[in-house]
Amino acid sequence: MRLHTTLPDVGGPAQPLLTIRGLTKHFPLKNGATVRAVDGVDFEVLKGETLGVVGESGCGKSTTARLLMHLMDPTAGELIFDGRSVGSRDLPLKEFRRQVQMVFQDSYASLNPRLTIEDSIAFGPQVHGVSRKEAIARTHHLMDRVGLAPSRFAERYPHELSGGQRQRINIARALALQPRMVILDEAVSALDKSVEAQVLNLLSDLKREFGLTYVFISHDLGVVHYISDRVMVMYLGQVAEIGPSDSLFAQPAHPYTKALLSSVPSMDPAHR
């Protein structure tokens, strides 16, 4: 059963899937000051790639993710998805959100505790006009794909699952709308290392199977190096450096990138 139906490339195969221009989010404070959480960011996400986003806490990674999903309104900036402006008559937000989904860091808080796992995954497709029967069929297929047998887990509630199992459910829920892009905001950082490795391998398999594009946000530089094709380094709400993963980790150009990479613990006992 193949669920994913690839939408035609409106912008052509050479067109970036997502182009961000001048993305800005400022938060005014009561004392008249302004927090520049995201301060004029420009970058592109290429079709079929995994773009890793790294930086220290407070650099604007998660705010950028929420702006990409339009979970908050930007102060300024423009998003172009496959050649169409997001939020315009050409690409309304509802259609954009069907093609771009997000997996959050807190696997429990992002699930409705009153819905069974089956209902949580099937909810999104039904909102977008898919029949209940088809939505349940998709749900069971995706639960199988993420390694949770529907016969055992479909009727369970989020509190009955482990953190790793809940994050697999969140991944299945994100894929239920058959998106083209998935934004993963610290999606594995709350998991222990053995479960983290399983989820990372699952994400790689799903990317190949469904032809997905990922924006992978994390503070774990080792994980980002492992999973990403290109890496974007953020510092104080701006893009400090962006480039191919291997070359950026081997020869960082920006002083902040060099400082960030030097903070990674070494596995070599001679270089503690």
Whole-Å CA distances, 229 to 52, 68, 225: 8, 20, 8
Q: What torsion do the CA atoms of 205, 207, 208, 212 make, to the nearest 10 degrees?
A: 170
Compute the chain's Rg from CA coordinates: 19
Q: In the structure encoding, which two tokens stand for residue 183, read together?
A: 């934004």
Q: What is Dmax (Cα atoms) for the chain?
A: 61
> Taking the chain, what is the end-to-end CA distance rounded to the nearest angstrom?
50
What is the reported pTM? 0.87
The three state secondary structure string of 141-196 is HHHHHCCCCHHHHCCCCHHHCCHHHHHHHHHHHHHCCCCCEEEEECCCCCCCHHHH
Q: In the structure encoding, which two tokens stand for residue 238, read together?
A: 């701006």
Residue 96 pLDDT: 92
Q: What is the mean pLDDT of each run of 10 residues along the chain (272 residues)?
A: 53 77 92 90 93 90 91 92 89 90 86 92 90 93 90 92 88 91 85 80 89 91 90 92 91 89 76 66
Strand partners, 214: 50, 182
Residue 145 pLDDT: 87
Any alpha helices (H) in the chain, and if so which ranges? 61-68, 93-99, 117-127, 132-145, 150-153, 163-175, 193-210, 221-227, 245-250, 255-262
Domain 18-110+180-259, CATH among 3.30.70.20, 2.60.120.10, 3.40.50.300, 2.60.40.1220: 3.40.50.300
Distance CA 221, CA 226 (A): 9
Are 212 and 182 a contacting pair, CB within 8 Å? yes
What residue spans define the domains of the chain?
18-110+180-259
Residue 200 pLDDT: 87
Distance CA 209, CA 22 (A): 33
- Site of tokens 């806490």: 57
Distance CA 15, CA 118 (A): 36
Q: Which of 136, 191, 145 is nearest to 169 (CA)?
A: 145
Residue 207 CB: number of other CB atoms within 10 A? 17
